[in-house]
Amino acid sequence: MGKKLGPKIAVWKFASCDGCQLSLLDCEDELLSLAAVIRIAYFPEATSAELAPPYDISLVEGSITTAHDSARIQQVRESSQLLVAMGACATAGGIQALRNFSHVEEFAAKVYAHPEYLEHRSIDLAHSPPALRAAGDPLCGQDRLSGAPGILNRATAIAEHVPVDYELRGCPINKRQLLEVLNALLNGRRPEIPTHSLCLECKLQGVSCVMVSHGIPCLGPVTQAGCGALCPAYQRGCYGCFGPSESPNTAALSEALLQIGWQRADVMRAFRSFNAAAAAFRQAGEAYAR
């Protein structure tokens, strides 16, 4: 009797640093048992072997920043049964979404000696997926080409382009949460991914609050749990890399941060990092940019 073949998993990269994909390889202890129950169908970071679509689960890292990627994510979605967006880039746009508050041309001119070398290919509608061709616009929604051809004005989360089944937060993601999602999907149960504040995680682990006991500014009360209270455990404030919690009161926290010594610009910068474009953090950043 042949063994049942495990689900086919594909790992995709968009605009990102590869850190979240590495979390999968970082599952050292579990990697072998994982490899025994799944089939890696597409994972260029780890293997050059490829299996043809469709895929049972696609893990997507990175945000959409080019016209080419906005077409490619449609193809990924079409070829995947379940799509898991992983990391701050894929769930909120990532650090590169800072461009959303400014002008891409300016950044490009500052960073590159020859910004004109940046992606010059014009968008070929004939090669876009059918749905996009019908819409006549390869850029999904309100985005338009920026001054640099092919580069979008905004870096956006995967969910702004296609339906997403699960989101894993963090910069990078927590490997236990990644395993939990895969494990749950393999076993047909609901993944245990809490959406409450990081503070609960501090308390569950017996980490004493850095804000109350040291006056260290911390975004934990408005940030989603999941990292294991990594920063507070080392007596640092949370940087908010897991993005907004389920019901974040950023206004009240910002007031408290001012009271323990931050300036308005500090508050703005705190919210403008890995999850700058996530709605609650974007609003908080905007409120303190003025």
Contact residues: ligand SF4, CB under 6 A: 198-199, 202, 209-211, 218, 220-221, 229, 232, 238
d(CA 97, CA 202) in angstroms, rounded, equals 29
State which residue, 102 or 205, has the beta carbon closest to another protein. 205
For ligand SF4, the closer of residues 67 and 198 by Cβ is: 198
Angle between helices 279-289 and 264-271 (to 10 degrees): 160
C-beta closer to another protein: residue 89 or 198: 198
Minimum distance, C-beta of residue 262 to ligand SF4, in the bound complex (Å): 14
Considering only residues 208 to 227 of the shown chain, the ones binding another protein according to CB under 8 A are 208-209, 211-215, 218, 220-222
Inter-residue contact 185 to 204 (CB < 8 Å) = no
Count of C-beta atoms within a 10 Å radius of residue 114: 8
Q: Which one among 75, 79, 183, 283 touches another protein, defined by CB under 8 A?
A: 183
CA dist 30 and 25 (Å) reads 10
74 vs 245, which CB is nearer to another protein? 245
Which residue's CB is nearer to another protein, number 51 or number 251? Answer: 251
For another protein, how many residues bind (rule: CB under 8 A)? 46
Give the containing element (helix H, strand E) for 31: helix 28-37
What residue number has its CB nearest to ligand SF4? Answer: 220
Q: How many angstroms separate the CA atoms of 198 and 181, rounded?
A: 19
Q: Taking the mean position of all CA atoms in its chain, how far away is CA 70?
A: 15
Single out the residue of 7, 26, 166, 17 nearest to residue 86, CA to CA.
166
Q: Which one among 204, 265, 279, 286 touches another protein, defined by CB under 8 A?
A: 204
Choose from ligand SF4, another protein, none: what does 240 bind? Cβ within 5-8 Å by kind: none
User: What is the distance between the alpha carbons of residues 145 and 105, in angstroms, rounded to a whole number?
Assistant: 11
Token pair 């709605």: residue:
279
d(C-alpha 188, C-alpha 201), whole Å: 26
* Least Å from the CB of residue 163 to another protein: 20
The SS3 assignment for 71 reads helix
Binding partner of residue 238 among ligand SF4, another protein, none, CB cut-off 5 to 8 Å per kind: ligand SF4
Q: What's the closest the beta carbon of residue 198 comes to another protein, in angstroms?
A: 8
Beta bridge partners of 197: 224
Q: Are 92 and 79 in contact (CB under 8 A)?
A: no
Using the rule CB under 8 A, is 200 a contact of another protein?
yes
* Residues at the site binding another protein, with contacts judged by CB under 8 A: 30, 33-34, 36-37, 179-180, 182-184, 186-187, 189, 192, 194-197, 199-200, 203-209, 211-215, 218, 220-222, 235, 246-249, 251-253, 255-256
